[in-house]
Amino acid sequence: MLTHSQRVEKIKKYAAKNKFFTVIAAAVILLLIGQVVFNKNDSDKKKVAENKSISSEEDTSVDTSINEEDKLTWHFYWSDLFVLVGFGGFCVIKIIQEKKKAREKL
């Protein structure tokens, strides 16, 4: 078995060779952290919207379009990530192949 320091060294070498992988991994981590932050903010907004809807029942002159806008929220699904990474990887592979063909023609 590898020790912790050997595994860390192995990961550092892999990250140094594969900058593209490192950038994608960092983007995914930032996306997940951002999702947690946005979900927390959304729950706070929903509480405020519920309080507004209770007060709007009492006051009939309140515009209902505000409540409709609060219902439209963006949700993150894991399938979205897989589709983006899959098709993004496919496109990158095709671009690299085209560049190789262009170099061979020169």
What's the average model confidence in pLDDT over 58-66? Answer: 52
Percent of the chain with pLDDT over 70: 68
Please name the helix (run of DSSP H) or strand (run of DSSP E) that holds residue 25, with its range, or none: helix 19-58
Tell the residue number behind the tokens 């993150």, with chain if given: 76
Contacts (Cβ under 8 Å, ≥6 apart) of 62? 52, 55, 56
pLDDT at 97: 92
Tell the residue number behind the tokens 């309140």, with chain if given: 62
- The whole-angstrom separation of Cα 22 and Cα 25 is 5
**pLDDT tens figures, 10-59:** 888 888 888 888 888 888 888 888 887 777 766 666 666 565 655 555 55
Give the CA distances from residue 48 to residues 41, 44, 67, 88, 101, in Å, rounded to whole numbers and listed in that order: 11, 6, 11, 38, 58
